[in-house]
Structure 1
Amino acid sequence: MKKWIISSLSTLLLATSSLMTISVEAAQALRFGAMPATDSVPVLWAVEKGYFEEAGLTVEIVPFTNALNRITAMQTGNIDADVEGLNEFLNLVQQDAEFGKIITTTNDNFQLVAAKDYQKEDDKEIVVGSLLNSVIHYLTLTYFESHSGGFREEYIPEIPVRIQMLQQKQIDMAILPEPIASTAAMQGLTKERLKFDENPNAIIFKQSYLKDNEAAVEAFLKGYNRAIDDLQDVENIEAAKKLLVSKFELPEALLEHIDFPEFEASALPTEAYIQHLQDWLAKEFDQTFDRLYKDVVYEH
């Protein structure tokens, strides 16, 4: 009888241990909302190469082609992390202090796309296709504010419509992310990469996920930075372009046009840049934006 009790107890302990292991692994799983943009590439690469798994983290890529749908998925808890414009994130976190935290900035690639045969004139107003309350809106206002002839934004939610309006010369210019800008270049429009002092996008983790999965951040960054190391190699860059095109079922002809940024190791935005964006938002929306740096970044 004692042997049976001991044996049964051992079996129960083993089963409990297995359940605990499964529970921990399940809690570590991360649903990452990804857009067809170059700043998603390190995450896609790390998943493809198994770097997250080796670090102890399961990452599920949830694809989106619409930024508003992606943000809604974050707000409703259908995904745990994504890439967001920092101005968009600060707007969201001002409304909900528990929304999320910045894990790292990303290496973005935004291109200035011009209508066919368009010639910029210093004293003439520029009509720019944009998206209200987005990173594109912020970049448009800050880039064109110095134009002496002034500019006017046309808010066009759908990017394909913006490209169509550029083709038809209904708007003069638009700032578009890669590889979307390259689809415009394939249609005969010109593109020019924009450069910024600091990256305007970042990877955001939901606060609710962070509370239960603090160890996941270290695992994520370990896999992410291994991908960054790989992406210093020219051959890997070409393979990564194919991966991006494949994952989002983009035209293969894009491979000749896609312009990748220089990928850099994970880093948090500076406190000065966060303050700059909050000051800009306060002026833009005529309301207070006063989140502390420590409350919006996940320091690691």
Structure 2
Amino acid sequence: MNKIKIYLLTVLTISILIMFAGCSKKEPTTLTIGVLPNLDSIPMILAKENGYLGEHIELSYFKSAVDRDTALQTGNIDGTASDLLSAIFLKDNQFDMQVTSKTQGAFAIVTTPGLQADAIKADTSIGISSNTIIEYLTDIYALSQDMGLNKVAIPKMPTRLEMLQHGKIDLAMLPEPLAHAAVLNGGTYVTTSDAIGTNPAVMIFSQASIDKKAGLISDFYRGYNQAVDYIKDTDRETYMDVVMEKAGFPPTTRDTLTLPAYEHASLPDESELERVNKWMLEKELTKQTYTFDDMATPQFIE
């Protein structure tokens, strides 16, 4: 009888252990990154396509920054390529997130066909999107040239590009590769974000995702850095077709688009945040002065 009791107790114990083991086993977690059709998406696209990100990290493609930011705030994506202005707006709206690195997006001012860059004068019209990185870069450029441009608010980028090409505005600030598409259609480069000397493009992740998925975010950055090395070591002909397809870039830009000199992930300069914050305070877009520690974490930078 005692042997039977011992046997039953052993079976019961094993059953309980198996049950708890099954309960503690979690389903694989997915990390979802939002990307727009900009140049800073290229290392992410190639990291995914080349298998550097593994099966639990996905990219979600967006056509507009508004849709991207909504997806971040509602938890449909964990992180995204964005900019410091958007990050400050999110902080102001009590959305808990962190800047985790800078990215290498590119922007440019382009003329309408037939207008030469040296013909720009005060009150020349320029198409922008208000209260965004586009207007920020435009103001920094105008200040550097001691020039008052006539800013025309055209929020939708395709509309801005179309108005530029039809002479409805003299200039437009556009992200690459749309700026390059405008040049191929007869426009002229006036300046670029690199020449202006400021670029507040960054990666941001929600704090909830940082708390719950830190391992996957670290995996994302390892894959990102691998993709940067791949771009440096590989003829662009090898990967441009997949980039054009996934990012949805204008087909005409494939062969002549200049890519940034991509670098391993690193944090933005503190001075970049200070400059953006100052501009937003002056325009009364925020009432807060944020420190670098308020906005950014070095947790994922190797």
Aligned pair partner of 2:158 in 157, 160, 172: 160
- Does residue 282 in structure 1 map to residue 257 in structure 2? no
- Corresponding residue for residue 181 of structure 1: 179
Report the secondary structure of 1:175's partner residue: strand
- Does residue 109 in structure 1 map to residue 96 in structure 2? no
- Corresponding residue for residue 131 of structure 1: 129
Could you report, residue by residue, the CA deviation over 1:205-247 in whole angstroms, capped at 9, with x for unpaired residues?
Answer: 0111112122233222111111111111241x33343222111
Matched residue type, 1:157 = P
Could you report, residue by residue, the CA deviation over 1:37-61 in whole angstroms, capped at 9, with x for unpaired residues?
Answer: 11011111111122122xxx72111
Matched residue type, 2:160 = R
| Number of residues of Structure 1 aligned to a counterpart in Structure 2 | 292
Report the Cα distance in structure 2 between the residues aligned to 1:252 and 1:286, rounded to whole angstroms.
37
Would the alpha carbon gap of residues 21 and 37 (structure 1) be closer, same or farther in structure 2, given more than 3 Å must change? farther
- Corresponding residue for residue 212 of structure 2: 212
Q: Which runs of 5+ in 2 are unaligned?
A: none
Q: How does 1:53-132 map to 2 (within 5 A)?
A: 53=54, 58-96=56-94, 98-119=95-116, 120-121=118-119, 123-132=121-130
Report the Cα distance in structure 1 between the residues aligned to 2:49 and 2:9, rounded to whole angstroms.
47
Report the Cα distance in structure 1 between the residues aligned to 2:252 and 2:16, rounded to whole angstroms.
58
TM superposition score normalised by structure 2: 0.87
Would the alpha carbon gap of residues 244 and 147 (structure 1) be closer, same or farther in structure 2, given more than 3 Å must change? same
Deviates more, 1:11-20 or 1:143-152: 11-20
Matched residue type, 1:94 = D
Q: How does 1:193-272 map to 2 (within 5 A)?
A: 193-195=192-194, 196-235=196-235, 237-272=236-271
CA contact (8 A) 1:186 1:257 kept: no
Report the Cα distance in structure 1 between the residues aligned to 2:8 and 2:47, rounded to whole angstroms.
48
CA contact (8 A) 2:128 2:155 kept: yes
Q: RMSD of the alignment, in Å?
A: 2.4
TM superposition score normalised by structure 1: 0.87
CA contact (8 A) 1:100 1:204 kept: yes
- Corresponding residue for residue 51 of structure 1: 52
Q: Which runs of 5+ in 1 are unaligned?
A: none
- Corresponding residue for residue 167 of structure 2: 169
Percentage identity across paired residues of the two chains: 27
CA contact (8 A) 1:241 1:258 kept: no
- The higher radius of gyration belongs to 2
- Corresponding residue for residue 39 of structure 1: 40
Report the Cα distance in structure 2 between the residues aligned to 1:131 and 1:221, rounded to whole angstroms.
31
Deviates more, 1:103-112 or 1:213-222: 213-222
